[in-house]
């Protein structure tokens, strides 16, 4: 279906997610039945953590028209709320396979083709203090939000020290696992290539 919509699709086994639409964005697709199963067997939040550790932008698409009700409504709503609030992962609902394909295609098109102009990464021009400027720079690292940026700056004192830190040293900061440390180190050390 994605090919019919005009997408170029490469099929391969992925360690994270179901569709990688760019180097920073991944999509996990679940039927409503699979979503319930992943709550029951506990894999939903492991998958969410793995996505967040490896990608800057993570999306979950839940496909279908009705849950099987193997999980009570409060647990379903709790799981969806946790994805959104605890992991920062937006959740989209589609009616069927066609709707899912359209959503994936729209996200991939926006992510891959909508970048003709160079976009400012962080838009706040009125950064008043050096600490705010430093935090803003560190927040640009993959998987790093405001709290983690402050934790990194407190641990390493300067952006220069963060850049010089090895993966093991980065993992000494709470909420930075091996994978996130690897992505941060890669972003800081890999040669720029458009």
Q: Which two tokens stand for residue 140?
A: 């640009």
DSSP 119: P
Structural domains of the chain in order of their starting residue, each with its CATH number? 2-113 (3.40.50.10130), 130-189 (1.10.150.20)
What are the helix (H) ranges across the chain? 2-5, 32-40, 43-54, 73-85, 97-113, 130-139, 146-156, 159-164, 167-170, 178-189
The CA distance from 113 to 60, in Å, is 21
CA distance 51 to 132: 28
| pTM value surpassing 0.75 | no
What is the chain's pLDDT, residue by residue, as a tens digit (194 residues)? 988 888 888 888 888 899 998 888 899 999 999 999 999 998 999 999 989 888 889 999 999 988 878 888 999 999 999 999 999 999 999 999 999 999 999 998 888 875 543 333 444 445 468 888 888 888 888 888 778 888 999 999 999 999 999 999 999 998 898 888 998 999 899 888 76
């Amino acid at each position: 279906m994605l090919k019919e919509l005009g997408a170029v699709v490469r099929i391969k086994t992925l360690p994270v997610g179901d569709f990688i639409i760019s180097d920073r964005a991944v999509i996990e697709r679940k039927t409503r039945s699979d979503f319930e199963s992943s709550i029951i067997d506990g894999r939903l939040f492991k998958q969410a953590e793995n996505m967040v550790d490896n990608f800057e932008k993570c999306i979950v698409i839940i496909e279908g028209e009705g849950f099987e009700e193997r999980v009570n409504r409060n647990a379903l709503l709790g799981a969806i709320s946790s994805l959104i609030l605890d992991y920062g992962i937006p959740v989209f609902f589609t009616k069927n396979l066609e709707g899912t394909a359209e959503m994936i295609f729209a996200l991939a098109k926006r992510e891959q083709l909508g970048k003709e102009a160079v976009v400012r990464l962080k838009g706040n021009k009125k950064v008043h203090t050096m600490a705010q400027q430093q935090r803003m720079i560190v927040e640009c690292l993959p998987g790093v939000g405001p709290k983690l940026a402050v934790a990194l700056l407190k641990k390493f004192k300067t952006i220069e020290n963060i850049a010089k830190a090895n993966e093991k040293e980065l993992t000494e900061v709470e909420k930075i696992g091996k994978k996130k440390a690897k992505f941060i180190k890669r972003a800081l050390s890999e040669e720029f290539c458009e």
